Structure 1
């Protein structure tokens, strides 16, 4: 079974408006409410591709109910611990005449140490060596980045696979537990090694290979409008991104990760998984919701090649 962990779930309010002016009533073109959180999105993508998962995490209030109800409506099992306080609502506003997007992201509820231990206990009781755990995104208030290491330790002890998509520097501290895959973007990859120079292709490969040498099995690097790269002990693969008009970039990385994992789960090659993952992530970025996987116009634009030169 695949378990996705979202420790700061959200409802995303996605707004499209022709203009955005101060101190006046701005009438919008459209809006959409979406159950969200990075792990939540991975579960949605896995479901679209016929892969079962259990969406887990910690949240609170009627806003968490909206998230869990949205997952259940798609036939996805959930196991969220509920606390006092509200799961957050984030706002993403696409302003047409500015050709830009505004992102307003709120903090989540305060999570006690007791609840954190209850969540870890759930995984200690549940995981088997056949399972894969995906932990994605930021944490709610009260949860320290070192919580990543506690989860990694449990997953390793159970001989399960671990996937991490997080910007916390504590990601590096999980490497002794040999995560199956890390999914940083270029900025996150640089921060892991406190590198402040230009992220050239050569530097991206160098830093990703350092993660591999330190224990990570695969590194999937999101390169934004340039595409993505997959680096492991045996190969360096690069897939260019197709040309799109960006509408909402909030869930593109989650789509890419979920698609990549689904294709690997189905036994497809890493090269094919990377190609479809980039196409799906790009398609999500071009719309207000997640991709519908009608990728016929995007896939021919993408080439997977060895190396990043």
Structure 2
């Protein structure tokens, strides 16, 4: 069974405008409301792929109810912790440029934090847990480490997509996969993004493997991604198109990658589909559809940078 955990879910309100000006009424020509949050996006893609999964997280108020209702419409199971306050609503405006307004979300009490950790404790052994996204108020970064520790001792395969430097401490608990983007990878090692050549990304990915990660997938936007494990290094390209909303592209890449592997696709095919999903989502208002992915797959190239005999 696959579980996804979004600590700070959101409704994403997408609006289209001809232009965005200060001190005047800016009227939209288009609007769209979508349940969101990084691991919620993962749940949506997995469901599209026909993979059953359960979404977890903190939700509150009318916006939290909307998210849960929309997930159930998509045949996604839910195991939420209900909190006081209102689940955040983020705004993504596409005008002359792309504007992103992201809110903080509700304050989480210690009692509710413990309740969610207890839910994680009850996840069956051999399950997979995606943990993606930022933390709401009231929860410190050691929350990620506690989750990693639970997964390690309960034999739960952990996938992490977080920007917190607590990720480095989680590596001691051997997560199955981590997915930093360029900015996050640079931040973890106190570098600038301009220093991240292909060779440097591979070097840093290998350092993360030595620290405990089993696999590293570095998403690079229009440059595609680089996958590193103990015996394989693969580079996958992206494709060109009109960028509408980049907010969910990394989530689409990650979920499609793991989803395709779960469906017994090869590593290479999983990466190709993952890159196509990331691009298709960047070219869409929100999470892409399977038809959008299929339309781009033939444009994606993969290069083997290292491959060793897995069986010796």
Q: Do both share a fold (TM > 0.5)?
A: yes
In terms of mean alpha carbon deviation, does 290-299 or 177-186 score higher? 290-299
Secondary structure, in 3 states, of the residue corresponding to 2:298?
Answer: helix
Equivalent residue, structure 1, for 2:211: 214
CA deviation digits over 1:146-175, x for unaligned, max 9? 111100010111111000000000000011
- Could you say which residue in structure 2 is the equivalent of 1:305? 303
Question: Equivalent of 1:275, from 269, 272, 277?
Answer: 272
Provide the residue aligned with 1:51 in structure 2: 51
* Equivalent pair of 1:190/1:207 in contact (CA under 8 Å): no
| Segments of 4+ moved more than 4 angstroms | none
Secondary structure class of the residue paired with 2:290: coil
Residue 63 of structure 1 pairs with residue 60 of structure 2: no
Task: Note the C-alpha offset of 1:289.
Answer: 2.5
* 2:310 counterpart residue number: none
Residue in structure 2 matched with residue 76 of structure 1 by the alignment: 76
Partner residue of 1:194 out of 190, 194, 217: 190
Partner of 2:148: 152
Gapped regions of structure 2 (runs ≥ 5): 307-312
SS in 2 for 1:27: coil
CA RMSD, aligned part only?
Answer: 1.2
Instruction: Return 15-24 or 65-74, whichever deviates more.
Output: 15-24
1:114-170 per-residue CA deviation (whole Å, 9 max, x = no partner) reads 11111111121x222220000000010011111111000101111110000000000
CA distance in 2, matches of 1:262, 1:292: 14
What 5-or-longer segments of structure 1 have no aligned partner? none
2:116 and 2:92 map into 1 onto residues whose CA distance is 30
Q: Provide, for residues 178-212 of structure 1, a one-character-per-residue CA deviation record: whole Å limited to 9, x for no partner.
A: 00000100110121122236111111111111011
Contact 1:14-1:32 within 8 A present in 2 as well: yes
Which residue number in structure 2 is paired with residue 132 of structure 1? 128
Partner of 1:290: 287
SS of the counterpart of 1:298? helix
- Corresponding residue for residue 159 of structure 2: 163
Can you list the C-alpha shifts for 1:45-82, whole angstroms capped at 9, x where unaligned? 00000101000011211111011111011111101101
Match of 2:244 in 1: 247
The 8 Å contact of residues 235 and 303 in structure 2, kept in 1 or not, is answered as yes
Aligned with 1:230: secondary structure? Answer: strand
**Cα separation, 1, equivalents of 2:208 and 2:77:** 33
Give me the TM-score of the superposition, normalised by structure 1.
0.96
| 2:276–2:296 Cα contact (<8 Å) kept | yes
Equivalent residues, number = 304
Query: How far did 1:292 drift?
Result: 1.2
Match of 1:12 in 2: 12
Q: Distance in 1 between matches of 2:294 and 2:65?
A: 36
Per-residue deviation at 1:251?
0.8
Structure 2: distance between partners of 1:94 and 1:38? 20
Q: Distance in 2 between matches of 1:48 and 1:210?
A: 34
CA distance in 2, matches of 1:263, 1:20: 40
